[in-house]
A and B are shown apart, each in its own frame.
Chain A
């Protein structure tokens, strides 16, 4: 028979042992959970994120003020809010992570908002680009971009080049409609006219009909937005094949000439204009160091907006750990107004939107000395905030 006193003593002993065993391991390791696609059609995103973080840790070490920062990766597959939410739950409850990061798709990011509110976990979005996300939780921060952020400067630049009539042609889904609204509002605010607004089904493979419509609309240029991959490939091909380029109709884009698809686009991409926040060819010493470190880590790796989004995300997390360790609200407070030199140029975390304020570059696809295609930046529109915040 076990007496109550002995039982209590045993229990106390067990509790002491348990907490004693856990405490030292947890004290100097700060865990960061990264939720991104590592399998399936979008697996390249997870790889780009991991590359960016690995390079950052190779350059800056894994320790911040004696605390080891450890990244844990979880595979969300595609746009799948339920999976993202349960992964976040697992990371927060079982792994006891202090920070979250990653997120390619808007629905995945939105799904974790209630969780991070409850656990007060700063969550750095590397990509998901809808303006509304950061309003859903005060613990969201973002080092990617928003469609408003790049589409508004594109429209203003286009107007300044003397273009007055533009047709918009976007994929018929959330980000596409965001891009359409952003471009149209900024272009019309300056006095330009949107002569046709085409919404293309997401599953489109043949873009020739849309191109004929654009040609017939009398536009000086076409502003397009499609999800990167096969659609952007076929869209830019159709732009050339239908003779829009030959007819002098300009091409205004954003991420269509992303570094991961540029080689496949081939010479058809030469001369395309885009407005974006990062080109692997950005001329700065910080970017050069980033590119070299990336090549050292994996010679086949490609630097693009996803890897630099994760690289800056890792930097932001390091800064928050240095300032506030495990204190979530304190970390977010420390992040507000933080400015640094990123591979993409000077950046700042806007204190109100917690979104990254950055330069937007107007680029043109060009060939380098070795014959490889790259995005050459030729105009800079400085310090652009998220223009979609108050919409």
Chain B
């Protein structure tokens, strides 16, 4: 009984971390059909900025977090204009090569700035302790990640399904020409969505840093995990990404409790099974470029 409870709790909190670091890619890859392998790079930039502000300059965490996330969002706008706009509608291989190249540039930049050491982000006292749940304790930081994850999930759902911007975005993606004919500024919609994805990456990078610490090679180290969540979840579905992250988190955690020697086999077995049965992912609409 205790073990089932432990697995559920740790699986949930690990799954939420997975969701936080991959939801941004689900937005850009799924909605805009850009295979953005540089997603982890934006998480790295956010984390490195956070490290600079809190660890080196001594800013309070609560101030540095929005500043870092907003900065990455703003940095993403000119990058979208220069690097990504020419990629929309191009072949998969072109997008993969261009974005992996951009990832290398980001890695080299952080490496040049800070070297390849771990970039610690000191937690403020109010995130440091643990919460007693009766049967066991849970770090406050994890609770914060779970709460933030739920807020992000709700906000994204509301934004995409319930606002005018969401309508514009879905229209622009489904039929760009028709959307433009109706007076929607699709360039602006794409740029804003891309920046949103980058900002989510930065937020996820910082909040997930307790498990996946920020260092120069972060974008490549966790690329497979991020892509796995998005692929299982199905392109373009925030709910799908959430289900996938929780499911994979639970499976991985259960394997760690019960059969640690078998490593991450179960994680990838689940990935294979889902993609074999549902190539479009759990919530998949057909992926037509």
Contacts and interface: CB of A to CB of B under 8 A. Distances in A.
B256 A204 contact: yes
B141 A241 contact: yes
A241 B115 CA distance: 28
Given A264-B213, A265-B120, A206 B130 contact: no
A318 to B, nearest CB: 28
Contact of A213 (B222, B225, B257, B261): B257
30 contacts: A41-B215, A41-B216, A41-B217, A41-B221, A42-B116, A47-B115, A199-B261, A200-B256, A201-B263, A203-B264, A205-B225, A206-B10, A206-B14, A206-B17, A206-B252, A206-B253, A212-B6, A212-B136, A230-B118, A234-B212, A241-B139, A241-B141, A241-B142, A241-B210, A242-B137, A243-B130, A260-B117, A263-B55, A265-B120, A266-B120
Contact of B261 (A41, A44, A172): A172
A137 interface: no
Interface string A34-53: 00000011111001000000
B111 interface: yes
A282 interface: no
Nearest to A42: B116
A41 B14 CA distance: 25
Interface string A115-130: 0000000000000000
Contacts of B120: 233, 263-266
B260 A210 contact: yes
Contacts of A204: 256, 264
Contacts of A208: 10, 13-14, 253
Interface string B109-141: 001000111111011000000100000110101
A209 interface: yes
Contact of A212 (B123, B210, B257, B261): B257
A351 interface: no
What DSSP secondary structure best describes chain A's contact surface? helix
Nearest to B13: A208
Contact of B118 (A40, A43, A261): A261
B139 A44 contact: no
A210 B258 CA distance: 10
Interface in B208-229: 210-213, 215-217, 221-222, 225
A198 interface: yes
Nearest to B139: A241
A102 B256 CA distance: 36
A164 interface: no
Contacts of A44: 115-117
Of the listed residues A209, A210, A233, A241, the one surrounded by the most CB atoms of chain B closer than 10 A to its CB is A209
Contacts of B136: 212, 243
The 3 closest A-B pairs by CB, nearest first: A264-B120, A201-B263, A264-B118
A264 B13 CA distance: 23
Given A233-B118, A265-B120, A266-B120, A198 B260 contact: yes
Nearest to A199: B261
A111 to B, nearest CB: 24
Interface string A203-221: 1111011101100100000
Contacts of A242: 137
A261 B123 CA distance: 16
A3 to B, nearest CB: 61
Interface residues of B, number: 41
A263 B55 CA distance: 9
A230 B139 contact: no
Contacts of A234: 210-213
Interface in A247-274: 260-261, 263-266
A241 B211 contact: no
Contacts of A42: 116
B59 to A, nearest CB: 16
A107 interface: no
Interface string A66-102: 0000000000000000000000000000000000000
B107 to A, nearest CB: 9
Contacts of A229: 118, 215
Of the listed residues A40, A199, A205, A210, the one surrounded by the most CB atoms of chain B closer than 10 A to its CB is A205
Contacts of B123: 266
B126 to A, nearest CB: 14
Contacts of B142: 241
A325 interface: no
A46 B213 CA distance: 22
A41 B40 CA distance: 15
Nearest to B122: A266
Given A201-B264, A261-B117, 11 more contacts: A43-B115, A202-B263, A204-B256, A208-B13, A209-B6, A229-B118, A230-B118, A230-B213, A233-B118, A264-B118, A266-B120
A264 B213 CA distance: 9
A299 to B, nearest CB: 14
A7 B13 CA distance: 83
Nearest to B9: A208
Interface in B177-236: 210-213, 215-217, 221-222, 225
Interface string B46-73: 0000000001000000000000000000
A209 B256 CA distance: 6
B260 A201 contact: yes
A260 B115 CA distance: 11
A41 B110 CA distance: 12
A257 to B, nearest CB: 12
A336 interface: no
A76 to B, nearest CB: 15
A209 B257 contact: yes
A237 interface: yes
Contact of B116 (A43, A199, A209, A212): A43
B254 to A, nearest CB: 8
Interface in A127-171: none
Given A41-B217, A229-B118, A206 B211 contact: yes
A201 B257 CA distance: 12
Nearest to A232: B118
